Amino acid sequence: MDTIRYTAAGPHRGPGRRALLAGGTGLLGLLVLGAAATTTVPRPGSAGAAPASGAPALRLGFFANLTHAPALVGTARGLFARELEGSGTTLETSIFGAGPAAVEALNAGAIDAAYLGPNPAIAAFTSSGGRGLRVVAGAAAGGAQLVVRAGIADAAALRGATLATPQLGGTQDVALRTWLAARGLETDLRGGEVAITPTANAQTLELFRSGAIDGAWLPEPWSSRLVLEAGARVLVDEAELWDGKDTGAPGKFPTTVLAVSPDFAARHRETVDALLRGHLAALDWINTAARPEVLTTLNTQLERLAGAALEPAVLERALGNLSFTADPLAGAYPRLQANAVAASLAEPAGLDGLVDTSFLDAARTARADGGAGAGA
pLDDT score, position 41: 31
pLDDT score, position 27: 36
Q: How confident is the model at residue 6 (pLDDT cuts 50, 70, 90)?
A: low
C-alpha to C-alpha distance for 334 and 328, rounded to whole angstroms: 13
Mean pLDDT of 179-206: 90
* 73 pLDDT higher than 60: yes
CB atoms within 10 A of CB 293: 10
Query: Looking at 38-47, 90-99, 109-118, 263-272, which range is the least confident one?
Result: 38-47
pLDDT score, position 97: 83
Q: How confident is the model at residue 267 (pLDDT cuts 50, 70, 90)?
A: very high
Q: How confident is the model at residue 99 (pLDDT cuts 50, 70, 90)?
A: confident
Mean pLDDT of 289-301: 97
Q: How confident is the model at residue 147 (pLDDT cuts 50, 70, 90)?
A: very high
pLDDT digits (tens, 9 = 90+) for 7-51: 434 454 443 322 332 333 333 333 323 332 322 233 334 444 445
Computed over every residue of the chain, the mean pLDDT equals 86
* 363 pLDDT higher than 80: yes
pLDDT score, position 101: 86
Q: How confident is the model at residue 328 (pLDDT cuts 50, 70, 90)?
A: very high
pLDDT score, position 16: 35
Residue 12 dihedral angles phi and psi, to the nearest 5°: -135, 140
Edge-to-edge strand order for the sheet containing 215-219? Answer: 195-198, 162-165, 215-219, 144-148, 233-237
Residue with the larger pLDDT of the pair 338 and 187: 338
Q: How confident is the model at residue 372 (pLDDT cuts 50, 70, 90)?
A: very low
Q: Give the chain as a 3 state SS string.
A: CEEEEEECCEEEECCCCCCCCCCCCHHHHHHHHHHHCCCCCCCCCCHHHCCCCCCCEEEEEEECCHHHHHHHHHHHCCHHHHHHHHHCCEEEEEEECCHHHHHHHHHCCCCCEEEECHHHHHHHHHHCCCCCCEEEEEEEEECEEEEECCCCCCHHHHCCCEEEECCCCCHHHHHHHHHHHHCCCCEECCEECCEEEECCHHHHHHHHHHCCCCEEEEECCHHHHHHHHHCCEEEEEHHHHCCCCCCCCCCCCEEEEEEECHHHHHHCHHHHHHHHHHHHHHHHHHHHCCHHHHHHHHHHHHHHHHCCCCCHHHHHHHHHHEECCCCCCHHHHHHHHHHHHHCCCCCCCCCCCCECCHHHHHHHHHHHHCCCCCCC
pLDDT score, position 330: 96
pLDDT score, position 133: 96
* CB-side neighbour CA atoms (13 Å) of 202: 14
pTM confidence score: 0.85
Mean pLDDT of 235-245: 97
pLDDT score, position 4: 60
Tally of residues, the chain: 376
Q: Sketch out the chain's domains with CATH numbers.
A: 2-142+253-369 (3.40.190.10), 144-241 (3.40.190.10)
